[in-house]
């Protein structure tokens, strides 16, 4: 797994296993083959597309969007909404969602005080 600790400006696409300890000033798309571990910060939206996997330990300032055929575990902080559009989503009890958790389709498991809208 590749590990990144720096600061990145602009949108990025993740198509391989990547662990981010730094920050991204832009949106991040995780596509097929991508496994993204966020331990730092994303100053934008995190979009997980078909075939992508993600575990959020850090901070996302925008929305977290989960598409079909994906798996996302959220343990960190999301500044806006978490939207499940058909994937598998787990929101752990320690996670914070400043907006709403929306389920359009897919499987969502909410631990602790979290609830869907």
pLDDT tens-digit profile of 53-99? 999 999 999 999 999 999 999 999 999 999 999 999 999 999 999 99
Residue 101's pLDDT is: 95
**pLDDT for 117 beyond 70:** no
Q: Rounded to whole angstroms, how far apart are CA atoms 116 and 12? A: 29
- By the 8 A CB rule, do 77 and 57 touch? no
CA angle 68, 72, 74 (to 5 degrees): 140
Residue 28's pLDDT is: 98
Residue 73's pLDDT is: 97
Q: Tell me what the mean pLDDT of segment 22-30 comes to.
A: 97
Residue 108's pLDDT is: 93
Residue 14's pLDDT is: 97
């Amino acid at each position: 797994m590749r590990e990144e600790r720096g600061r990145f400006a602009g949108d990025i696409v993740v198509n391989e296993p990547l662990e981010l300890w730094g920050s991204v000033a832009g949106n991040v798309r995780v596509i097929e083959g991508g496994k993204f571990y966020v331990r730092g910060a994303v100053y934008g939206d995190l979009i997980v597309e078909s075939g992508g996997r993600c575990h959020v330990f850090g901070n996302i300032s925008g929305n977290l969007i989960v598409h079909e055929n994906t798996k996302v575990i959220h343990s960190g902080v999301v500044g806006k909404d978490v939207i499940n559009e058909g994937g598998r989503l787990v929101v752990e009890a320690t996670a914070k969602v400043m907006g709403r958790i929306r389920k359009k389709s897919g499987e969502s498991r909410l631990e602790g005080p979290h609830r869907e809208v």
